[in-house]
Amino acid sequence: MAGVAEYIKESYIELTEKVTWPTWRELQNSAVLVLVAALIIALLIFGMDQIIGYLLKQFYTSLT
């Protein structure tokens, strides 16, 4: 049981004294960057889906 208590104590010390936490401004900048990247990727996938859908529609209508 002492091993578990020591592990928790060392984990707490590492999280409070050794880890460099980002500032609030850095977190905001990172969140905005992730949001913009996600929107760009979503738009690319949407565009590809629309193009493939259009091409398939043209292909199937040409068969009938």
DSSP, residue by residue, 21-63: PPPHHHHHHHHHHHHHHHHHHHHHHHHHHHHHHHHHHHHHHHH
Q: In this predicted structure, what is the pLDDT of residue 64?
A: 75
Q: What is the mean pLDDT of the chain?
A: 94
Tell me the average pLDDT across 47-61. 97
For 21-52, the pLDDT digits (tens) are 999 999 999 999 999 999 999 999 999 999 99
Residues in the chain: 64
Q: Provide the token pair at 57.
A: 């529609």
What percentage of residues in the chain have a pLDDT greater than 70? 98
